[in-house]
Structure 1
Amino acid sequence: MVIKYKAFENLYQDSVSLMQISARLNKIVGVDEASVVMGTEANLSRMADAGFGDNIVAKPNDLVIAVKGEEEACNTAIEQAQQALTAKPDEGSGGASFSPPLTSFALGLEQHADANLALISVPGEYAAAEAIKALNLGLNVMMFSDNVSLADELQIKQLAQKKALMVMGPDCGTAIINGIPLGFANVVRRGAIGVVAASGTGLQEATCRIHQLGGGVSQAMGTGGHDLHQDIGGISMLQGLLALAEDDATKVIVLISKPPAAAIAERILATAAQVDKPVVVHFLGQADSQATATGVYFAHSLAHSAEVAVAVLRNQALPNAQFILSAQVQEQVTTLKTQLTPTQRYIRGVFAGGTFCFEAQIIASQYGLSAFSNTPIQGNHCLEDVWTSQQHTIVDLGDDDFTQGRPHPMIDPSLRNQRMLQDARDASTAVILFDVVLGYGASEEPLAELLDTLDQIRNEQVSMPALIAHVCGTDLDPQARDVIRQALEDAGVIIADSNADAAHLAAYFVSQLG
């Protein structure tokens, strides 16, 4: 095995594009691992940790391609990456005109004076400065960038408050603004329900479920995962809530977050109670099924928040949040139980979506199941080795533990498939619980390797674990959701309608094993 790298001076590309190129290179036969990143100190350190060595020389504005594997395959990967990075766009005009690259927000505004939103996807140490530039030009901001300090985030959001502008992020991976999906997002119909969420896949789950129920989304705004931290104070969620309250197209508002600091939760609920529109609130792990006199409704899961919002919009009875096991699935569970050995006792949850991992842990705990995780909820345990499952294990493969030098598993599910195969080979695994996330930014062919992995599991295992999954997406997404669901069912996977239902089913199944 050899390690090769090439650096391109002053060649900036956004992180989503680089992750997509990395994913393509990782599929080349003979390539063990490939990474395409900007040459920041943090990225070079992560690449060294991922085994690419510490001799890569690059500046923060340089683009680095690093590959491990067979020498010929590495050469091919670097050549293909170079072609992808330097290819000229299709010259539909026949070369008659030339537009210089836009190298600043100011230049962009000169050509597009009506623009009012800047999307920032640069290394975290530079993102704050770019956000401040955008705000000072009167632009709202979506910060896809992560690794921004809390102090910088507070400064950015306080400046936005003064200027009556909205900041989505840092680490905002998902938004739908005026019907346009940004970052990792799904295609949903326009409608009367507005969503503000401090979690990317949480926002995706809610908007997809709204669409599946026949509803539509007016706006969907991410706040970034740290917005409800005590030091930030929920600035973006409160701004989003008030903006939707003033939006004529929005009739019902949904707020989603992992458990916020107590004082922040109280402030958000107090503001929601003063809004002259129904507000559905779901703080994961903190549920109250009763509507208040002030028009604030509490949901029990990500999907339930969408179901409540649609019911409120239609003036219908609130949906029951209780998990109901259908007769068909009950029959499947009974059959699967008879196929397991006495050693098969544990859930192995393998997630690309961080909030899906969090929600699955919460639901498993409701069945008395204590799990290990690289991102444990309160009461669960840290994995001793994130690469090896122990007892009940529910992992977030999109966390930094797994993405250093690698594309996110929603872009390249190879690591997810490898983990599923590894867990299936463990004689103690009773059920493998996983997600498949569709939409823009996600893998264009999510079934390509997954079905091969399922075939390998089926052919290798004398006693195959139960397979339970949820496909987060809509019929309008670039990937064919119904085709994917059917193909997985044909491969022996039980498909749930939501992440919560999938987690309930897995936990129920394991709890019946005795």
Structure 2
Amino acid sequence: MIQAFLKKGCFQDSVSLMLISRQLSNGETVEEVSVMMGTPANKSLLENTGLWHPLFDDATPNDICVAIRPTPDAGDVSQGIAEQLDNALASVAQSAAGGKRLDVVRRWPTALAKQPEANLALISVAGEYAADLANEALENNLNVMLFSDNVPVESEVALKGKAAEKGLLVMGPDCGTAMVAGSPLAFANVMPAGPISIVGASGTGIQELASQVCLAGQGITHAIGLGGRDLSKDVGGASALSALNMIEQDPDTKVVAFVSKPPAPEVEQSVIAAMKAMTKPVVALFLGTRRTVRREGNVFFANSIADAARLTVMLANVRQLVPNSSQAESKHILGLYTGGTLAAEAAMLTAEQLGLAVDEAHHQGIMLDAKGHLIIDLGDDHYTLGRPHPMIDPTTRSLEIEKRASDEQVGVLLLDVVIGYGATADPAAAVVEAVESVRQQRQTPLHVVATVTGTEADPQQRSKQIESLVDAGILVVNTLEEAVLLSEALLEEQPQVSEGECPPLLTGIKVVNAGLRSFADDLQSASTPVVHYQWAPIAGGNAKLASLLKQMQ
């Protein structure tokens, strides 16, 4: 037989009560204890799990319902459970009160008065009440993060439509994670700052992608969650489109990564179209969709989280080397390589990036010669006949640099620096001398991008070679793929973002937290301004009375 009691007028968040339920269920005299607020959904759950008691008929959403299934022959254990519950609730209140004082209010107007510059409401109340609270936040021009689940899809559509009209963003419902301007929202990680923003309809996907990005040495500007249904046909990617538009206007974001569970096909296409309209490179991962075409314009498609992280980090590394100014006055790429394989790969990648064709004949070491772009293998027989290989004697390449890079139409010079046994003692010095000579002859700037092949243990010492190149204003990247992407970026016009154009949400958040107090504690520990709205159902959860009270306000 189920034993039960009510704790009237004592609203608590659902997560705390779930943890208390598990704690109380460990007693020797009980098989199970369930502690829930008396909402309609929770009453239905109690009935369906065989824990119903007639006493719960009188419970309101502001009352705690306690259902106990005692062990056989245990007798009446309700008094002991009530005492344990009081102790557990006192423990929750005591732990919440620890540390720096958190502003706690019981009315929405008071919350706004305490946090007059609030621009985000973090909502984690029961799903049947969450939409109304989110709508109230939008009415007060606050962006919304809806951690709450079980919100009807029609409410989600209405909320996101209203947010779009007001230039605001709704993350969720069922949005588990977000990190905005360094502030953690719900499930979030401590991340170093960097040039990458992530948008996603996959909560743990965002966290894993962000973690891999940071493990690779890059950092995060923002991570915006959308909720699991945003890319469904019904919702139409409303928040995805708003988030991409906001990120486009953020000057601190250089690269965007997008991760989601399988979207509706028509929504996927509209989101991709929005990505292509952006001026920033975007890495798109639609889980469950494998793509053979890896790039369409500024959109790079990934097939796994690890793949997306690698692409995102590579693009961020490249974009951080691009100066914040207009494109190079000259439009052509010149590659002068001492390694044949390196020249071949550089030509292949350049051809793919720019929609060109490689040179199949390779006459006189020419690997690419199209529309003014030229990549040459200087280790070809044409250049080594009667002369040392340019890795042994850099003179051949130095002469080619001075002859070909003096052409004012050349905007980017691609080079390799190969070190190790057998190579010249200081190849970087020869490159620097030739580059400085040709720069003195030119009227227009020349960007030089180099890769270094070798290790720190080599006689020339990799770090010393890189230091010499960088000191001479030569851009050094890790891979040929990065070198070619950087060359392309250097020849593009770099968009300028006007001051004051960035959406206020992305410059820093000030939060009204309604629901789980632990979220407010986390925000406060991260030095984010927050006030905790200790929400409880209006009018005891009576919908008619609540509606009348709202009309009277």
Give the TM bin, normalised by the shorter chain.
0.5 to 0.7
Match of 2:171 in 1: 168
The alpha carbon displacement at 1:153 in A equals: 0.8
Contact 1:192 1:249 in 2 (8 A): yes
Q: 2:267 aligns with which of 264, 275, 280?
A: 264
Match of 1:281 in 2: 284
Shift of the 210–100 alpha-carbon distance from structure 1 to 2, 3 Å rule, reads closer
**Which SS does the other structure have where 1:147 is aligned?**
coil
Structural mapping, 1:442-461, within 5 Å:
none
The alpha carbon displacement at 1:6 in A equals: 3.5
Match of 2:145 in 1: 142
1: CA distance, partners of 2:149 / 2:252: 31
Structural mapping, 1:372-411, within 5 Å:
none
Contact 1:279 1:296 in 2 (8 A): yes
The alpha carbon displacement at 1:300 in A equals: 1.4
Contact 2:122 2:144 in 1 (8 A): yes
Match of 2:5 in 1: 6
Contact 1:142 1:170 in 2 (8 A): yes
Structural mapping, 1:459-498, within 5 Å:
none
The alpha carbon displacement at 1:42 in A equals: 1.1
The Cα offsets for residues 220-256 of structure 1, whole Å up to 9 and x where unpaired, read as 1211111111121111111111111211222211112
Contact 2:262 2:289 in 1 (8 A): yes
Unaligned runs of 5+ in 2: 320-344, 346-517, 520-525, 527-553
The alpha carbon displacement at 1:294 in A equals: 1.7
**Which SS does the other structure have where 1:52 is aligned?**
coil
Contact 2:209 2:305 in 1 (8 A): yes
Contact 1:289 1:297 in 2 (8 A): no
Structural mapping, 1:94-493, within 5 Å:
101-288=104-291, 290-315=293-318
**Which SS does the other structure have where 1:51 is aligned?**
coil
Give the letter for the 2:198 counterpart: V
1: CA distance, partners of 2:134 / 2:288: 32
| TM, length-normalised to structure 1 | 0.56
2: CA distance, partners of 1:165 / 1:191: 24
Contact 2:52 2:67 in 1 (8 A): no
Shift of the 191–26 alpha-carbon distance from structure 1 to 2, 3 Å rule, reads farther
1: CA distance, partners of 2:27 / 2:314: 48
Match of 1:20 in 2: 19
The alpha carbon displacement at 1:54 in A equals: 4.7
Give the stretch that moved more between structures: 26-35 or 8-17.
26-35
2: CA distance, partners of 1:28 / 1:235: 48
Give the letter for the 2:86 counterpart: Q
Check if 1:50 corresponds to 2:84.
Answer: no
Match of 1:59 in 2: 60
**Which SS does the other structure have where 2:295 is aligned?**
coil
Give the letter for the 2:189 counterpart: N
2: CA distance, partners of 1:300 / 1:220: 20
Identity of aligned residues (%): 40
The alpha carbon displacement at 1:38 in A equals: 2.1
The alpha carbon displacement at 1:89 in A equals: 4.3
**Which SS does the other structure have where 2:141 is aligned?**
coil
Contact 2:3 2:53 in 1 (8 A): no
Give the stretch that moved more between structures: 46-55 or 164-173.
46-55
The Cα offsets for residues 57-92 of structure 1, whole Å up to 9 and x where unpaired, read as 421222333343445887655433323334554899
The alpha carbon displacement at 1:41 in A equals: 1.1
**Which SS does the other structure have where 1:193 is aligned?**
strand
Contact 1:189 1:211 in 2 (8 A): yes
Shift of the 137–215 alpha-carbon distance from structure 1 to 2, 3 Å rule, reads same
Give the letter for the 2:219 counterpart: G
Higher RCO (C-alpha under 8 Å, 6+ residues apart):
2
Shift of the 15–266 alpha-carbon distance from structure 1 to 2, 3 Å rule, reads same
Shift of the 42–216 alpha-carbon distance from structure 1 to 2, 3 Å rule, reads same
Give the letter for the 1:21 counterpart: I
Shift of the 76–294 alpha-carbon distance from structure 1 to 2, 3 Å rule, reads farther
May I ask how many residue pairs the two structures share in their alignment? 316
1: CA distance, partners of 2:161 / 2:24: 41
The alpha carbon displacement at 1:264 in A equals: 0.7
**Which SS does the other structure have where 2:49 is aligned?**
helix
The Cα offsets for residues 88-145 of structure 1, whole Å up to 9 and x where unpaired, read as 548999xxxx999522332111011122111111221111111110111111111111
Contact 1:9 1:63 in 2 (8 A): yes
The Cα offsets for residues 161-196 of structure 1, whole Å up to 9 and x where unpaired, read as 111111111111222222222222223222222111
**Which SS does the other structure have where 1:64 is aligned?**
strand
Unaligned runs of 5+ in 1: 318-439, 442-475, 477-514
The alpha carbon displacement at 1:202 in A equals: 1.8
Give the stretch that moved more between structures: 198-207 or 217-226.
198-207
2: CA distance, partners of 1:307 / 1:75: 59
Check if 1:81 corresponds to 2:85.
Answer: yes
Shift of the 199–23 alpha-carbon distance from structure 1 to 2, 3 Å rule, reads farther
Contact 1:28 1:77 in 2 (8 A): no
Contact 1:196 1:255 in 2 (8 A): yes
Contact 1:31 1:74 in 2 (8 A): no
Larger radius of gyration: 2
